[in-house]
A and B are shown apart, each in its own frame.
Chain A
């Protein structure tokens, strides 16, 4: 009980801190309609959130995070720029580790401001660093935008780039695709037979289901075009690997990125953004000289971060979930905004995990 009280005291302190920064307090229902979340996250959300059925409203979900309700709130409020904060419980199924909490408090801070993204990134990170000051934590940072820019700059077809961009957050499939596009793995026999067949539908079996013959033909045409495309070069493959393999302090990473950008100019603007962010962080008193940066950080979270990403981890217990996480999610606001998109960055802190550090 004393534990719960101190968690709510800590949550209140954080909320007050964020309000003092000019954030408006947002409330959200605990029970949310499931359709938006399911469409956004897909099956993963079923594995991670508690779904239930309402006889009139259909499938509902116990709030797994505040991101979707806050973005929806913002899209209706039309305020711009805007800062929001919230504190409340979220609920997550723990399928494989019983020691992890399945309900816990999150206190969040979200910035919707397209004026100066680098400054907004730095604002959130520096605020969190201050709020967590004195605790034995290690900060990890990354930038999904770099990898996306690198993929966008590959000398290959747009179809291949789209396929790679779609799997930025699934490292295994991303790697498999990249290997295939680079001609590093043999084409499956079934694929070769399909492309060589004079009538691909000779042994096709009955036309059943919603996916039509025309859709199958379209994909065959796409496969033919792909088979005719030149492989992604070994140099480009090596550059992507180099980018993903970066794990150093931020200034070292920045200079390595500038080297990579010589051969891959497509990442120039993303590198400039990173440099601006580091300047903005330094201006807010963050020690960027020792700040860690990982090229592949943030790729295994739920797929919505598409720029700066960060997390704060217990120094003594690196396997425990992060005490705080956050990042930029511009694309998510576009998907939820029905045509409107607002650059957004934010994060959450878990008071229970702060408490566990004492």
Chain B
């Protein structure tokens, strides 16, 4: 069996079903609505596995699923050296969101990373600790800020409602996902001009493990033909 992992709920799941459906492959939940098992019609030898979008990168790397649909941000965040574990087969054109660095609008002196770095230096000297940036994307944020040469900051973990951390004074800035920027503005934040860390979208990935059977390879070939990828 060739296992395809798909997000188990919400718009990402529906859009994924639509995307495959439009290309002649029908994905459906088997049994009741609450069950996380599924079926694939139109391709023999395929099995649908419904799981959390955040777990799909790890399961792909481990070889527990062979193909998976998830955000390109999650793959880069969850897997060190992501491109040695998975290959991007195709971007799917939905689920778009940008991982960005945002600061309070009240910081009229900060519009670029250069400004953020200077503000961080002054902040640390004044407050005695490094400027805090709240995020759940630790790897991506850290790599980006290191590459850009930003200093005197620290990342603080925030698994949800990250836009509220500045107002709550548990962070001074954030690195988070946004699609329209509406929530950011509502929380008094603005995006830095050069603060785009990664432009993410739903992507079909293939695990790079080489222990596939001939039957799995054949199924993969027929899927690629059907999807025209």
Contacts and interface: CB of A to CB of B under 8 A. Distances in A.
B149 interface: yes
Contacts of B146: 43-44, 47
B118 A211 contact: no
B211 interface: no
A96 B80 contact: yes
Nearest to A219: B109
A218 B118 CA distance: 12
B119 A219 contact: yes
Interface residues of B, number: 46
B108 A200 contact: yes
A204 interface: yes
A180 B112 CA distance: 13
A148 B148 CA distance: 21
A191 B110 CA distance: 9
Interface stretch (B9-17, B29-37, B63-71, B120-128): B120-128
25 contacts: A38-B154, A42-B153, A43-B154, A46-B142, A95-B139, A166-B151, A167-B151, A170-B149, A172-B147, A172-B148, A173-B150, A176-B149, A188-B111, A191-B111, A201-B108, A204-B105, A208-B167, A209-B104, A209-B172, A211-B119, A215-B122, A215-B126, A216-B106, A216-B109, A219-B119
A109 B81 CA distance: 35
A207 B148 CA distance: 27
B123 A215 contact: yes
B61 interface: no
A339 interface: no
Nearest to A197: B108
B106 A205 contact: yes
Interface string A91-115: 0000110100000000000000000
Taking each of A39, A170, A210, A219, which has the highest tally of chain B beta carbons within 10 Å of its own beta carbon?
Answer: A210
A173 B169 contact: no
B88 interface: no
B204 interface: no
Contacts of A163: 118, 121
Interface in B140-185: 142-143, 145-155, 166-167, 169, 171-172
A62 B220 CA distance: 44
A208 B80 contact: no
A58 B131 CA distance: 20
B148 A216 contact: no
Interface of B: 80-81, 104-109, 111-112, 114-115, 117-119, 121-123, 126-127, 129-131, 138-139, 142-143, 145-155, 166-167, 169, 171-172, 188, 190, 193
Given A188-B111, A205-B105, A206-B106, A42 B154 contact: yes
Contacts of A200: 108-109
Contacts of B107: 211, 216
A220 interface: yes
B109 A43 contact: no
Contact of A43 (B111, B115, B149, B153): B153
A218 B122 CA distance: 10
Given A42-B152, A216-B107, 15 more contacts: A38-B154, A46-B138, A47-B142, A47-B146, A95-B81, A96-B80, A163-B118, A167-B151, A173-B148, A205-B190, A208-B188, A215-B123, A218-B122, A219-B119, A223-B109
